[in-house]
Amino acid sequence: FGSRAMNPPITVCVEGNIGSGKTTFLKHFKKFPDVCVFDEPISKWRDCQGYNLLDLMYKDPRKWSLCFQSYVQLTMLDLHTKPIVEPIKMMERSIFSAQYCFVQNLRNEGLIEDAQYAVLSEWFNFSTANLPIKLDLIVYLRTDPEVAFNRIAQRGRSEENSIKMEYIQSVHKLHEDWLVNNQKLLPCPVLTIDANLELADMAPNYQLCEEKMFQKQKATVAN
Ligand SMILES: Cc1cc2cn([C@H]3C[C@H](O)[C@@H](CO)O3)c(=O)nc2[nH]1
């Protein structure tokens, strides 16, 4: 079995703004047999017992943000706690970016009430204190808001066609406050990658992440 199933996996979360290239970045790592990649469960957010919560949220954020973010929290906890046999778990985003970037932004914009923010925060505090959630590395795909915004337009996800540049700038700033300015708890080291680069120029960044990830994994096996 070697390193498989003998140690708890190391967990690597890929973080970044909407349109920063997370899904594309993660696709590169699906070829490694020792890596289990969990994309963002957006299909669940688009079909929760038949309801497209993502669309409802973008259409009427004041009414649907609490509902949407509490389901995001549940689906992220499911992935954080899901056992795997591979020694490395890679996730797209985390319960941390849910709380520190998206829920925080909704509160800042007055799209959720303080009491609703309090309830989401209580779930976050309980979950991070009582559930087996440990991150070993955050890979931050850092982009300029303009780059991210243009990619969202190119991708053309129907629910996202109402997104304004101001929203992308606010979410960017919250990622920077958390991952660069360390204004919120950092659960693990952060590897910041310049994700403004075009896909063709990303190879060295893939290399960097591979080295860091497999190095960390070897370190845990050695202990
Ligand atoms: C953890 C987390 C991911 C996430 C994504 N989203 C939105 C941003 C994108 O439009 C879409 C897919 O990431 O969902 C959100 O509003 N709140 C979130 N919280």
- Within 10 angstroms of residue 25's Cβ, the number of other Cβ atoms is 22
> Mind listing the pLDDT tens digit for each residue in 143-174?
999 999 999 999 999 999 999 999 999 999 99
3-class DSSP state of 93? coil
Query: Which pair of structure tokens corresponds to residue 217?
Result: 């994994």
Q: Distance of alpha carbon 67 from its chain centroid, rounded? A: 19
- Does residue 92 have an active-site annotation? yes
| pLDDT tens-place string over residues 1-54 | 455 555 789 999 999 999 999 999 999 999 999 999 999 999 999 999 999 999
**Closest C-alpha to ligand 1, atom 2:** 98
> What does the pLDDT average to over 104-118?
98
Catalytic residue among 86, 92, 176, 210: 92
Question: Two tokens at 80?
Answer: 């954080």
Residue among 163, 101, 108, 65 at smallest CA distance from 56: 65
Q: What is the ipTM of this complex?
A: 0.96
Q: Is 98 in the pocket of ligand 1 (CB under 6 A)?
A: yes
CB atoms within 10 A of CB 90: 25
Taking only the tens place, the pLDDT of each residue in 61-74 is: 999 999 999 999 99
Q: Is the dihedral of CA 57, 143, 164, 154 positive or negative?
A: negative
Q: Is the CB of 170 under 6 A from ligand 1?
A: no
